[in-house]
Amino acid sequence: MPRSRVAALTRRDVHRAARNFRWTRQMTKWSVIVEGRELPVRPLVLEAAGVPPNDPTSTSQAVDILKTLGFDVRYRGRAMREDGPEASSEAEFEALLRRLRGSLKGPNSLLNDRKREHVVEKDWSR
């Protein structure tokens, strides 16, 4: 459970903290776009709330707070959808499956080629 200071953050608090926020380390998995800058989620939230870095607020809580405030939250640099970070990957995967299923139909399909291989193997075993 985030501290009351963290839970009470406003969009204005986050913007104010982002203006002076400096991050020199490698970007974290979760980031947020504030005023055109990509910043780490949890450190920014803790800075905006004025709490120490060892505060028990988790990254997922910080992500939820920033989403609720309407910020563009990202996972590994990719824009988030409401369904989660994997949603776009899942959609791409579903499209790939549909294309593959299409290639399994017809006279020159992968499925028919596979059947021919089995028939040829059976003929050789006689």
pLDDT in tens, 46-57: 999 999 989 999
Same domain, 71 and 97: no
**94 or 7: whose pLDDT is higher?**
7
* C-beta separation of 61 from 6 below 8 A: yes
* C-beta separation of 69 from 9 below 8 A: yes
Which residue range(s) make up the domain with 33? Answer: 4-79
Residue with tokens 């020159």: 108
Q: State the DSSP H helix or E strand holding residue 79, giving kind and residue range, or none if neither.
A: strand 78-79
Residue with tokens 């939820």: 64
Same domain, 11 and 71: yes
**78 or 122: whose pLDDT is higher?**
78
Same domain, 55 and 112: no
Q: What is the mean pLDDT of the chain?
A: 79
Same domain, 116 and 61: no
The total domain count for the chain is: 2
Same domain, 72 and 102: no
Same domain, 98 and 37: no
pLDDT score, position 4: 79
Same domain, 22 and 66: yes
Residue with tokens 């709490």: 51
* C-beta separation of 40 from 28 below 8 A: yes
Residue with tokens 């791409």: 92
Same domain, 68 and 106: no
Same domain, 75 and 111: no
Q: Which two tokens stand for residue 17?
A: 């903290």
Same domain, 73 and 22: yes
